[in-house]
Structure 1
Amino acid sequence: MAARTVKRVVAGLLGTAIATLAAATPANAAYSYEWDNGVAVGGLGSEQSYCVTTKYSEVCIQPYGDRIFVMDLSSADSASAVARWFTSYGRWGTCRNSLGAGHWAVCNKDFKEGYWLTARATQYDGDTQDWKGPESGDLNVLM
């Protein structure tokens, strides 16, 4: 009898804790995928940048200003250089440079401070809508 009572109390406490947690979670906690077409820019400027490169693309992050820079390093082709990124708090997306080889593009974001942003450099073919390699390793930057 005592064991059943303990099980009921524990189950009730657990149910209350789950309901309280669900009520405290904001409705906008789930983020949707973000796709940005970068805007032409002359270069990185003087702000501190952290970069990762593949044979065909370079991605640089500037924590101050929350900017993602993408450079297309390939010769003329149909593929765009892109940054694939995600945060440690659940946001994720792509910053695309469709300006062509030899050009920088920037995506201005607004990330939460004190969280990690992870980015990878790769390519996306807009004609076929296929991801192309190679994809770089992770670039981890504290925002």
Structure 2
Amino acid sequence: MRSIIKTSVSAAAVLVAAILLLMLGTTPAAAADDVSILGYDHKPEDREFNWAKLHGLTDHNRECVDNEYVRACVQPYGDVFWLRDDEWDAIDVRLWWVDLDSKRWGVCQSAEGYGDWARCDKNLTNGHLVKWASSWYEDGEWQFSPVQYITI
């Protein structure tokens, strides 16, 4: 009887931990903080982090990249970063960006789930060149889209 109770308690603890991780929008490993793909000598303390907020996609012009895991767009008018998670894996997707004409850089992360558009509304300086890439978690590590450039 004790072994049944012990097994049940252990299973319940694992289930509670898994539910908490999903509710908090936690993603695997902090390794995604390494954005050397952007080729920018950034200071970690300068990183801007924003949770993307659920929002319907608007009709403004934007540049996008997509694959089977994530669709990411940058809308220069309004300085909006868009993300849509296209994989049923319960792992967040990200858009990393660097303002090449200032010290600003950061990540827009969406935990909104499969198929929903979410956005980060930034206030970047007009005329600045922004380098960006989307990222998703696959096969135990973070993957990045080809790097894109856009003038805000």
Contiguous gaps of at least 5 residues in structure 2: 1-42
Distance 1:50 1:82 in 2: 16
Aligned equivalent of 1:132: 142
Distance 1:105 1:69 in 2: 6
**TM-score, reference length from structure 2:** 0.65
Distance 1:122 1:54 in 2: 10
Following superposition of structure 1 onto structure 2, how do residues 1-143 of structure 1 map, counting pairs within 5 Å?
Answer: 32-43=46-57, 45-75=58-88, 77-88=89-100, 89-123=102-136, 132-133=142-143, 135-143=144-152
Identity %: 25
Question: Secondary structure at the residue paired with 1:112?
Answer: coil
- Structure exhibiting the larger radius of gyration computed from Cα positions: 1
How many aligned residue pairs are there? 107
Q: CA deviation at 1:54?
A: 2.8
Q: Structure 1 residue runs of 4+, over 3 Å off?
A: none
Q: CA deviation at 1:42?
A: 1.5
Does the 8 Å CA contact 2:46/2:103 hold for their aligned counterparts? no
Does the 8 Å CA contact 1:58/1:81 hold for their aligned counterparts? no
- RMSD value, Cα: 1.9
Aligned equivalent of 1:23: none
Q: 1:94 to 1:124 in 2, by over 3 A?
A: farther
**TM-score, reference length from structure 1:** 0.69
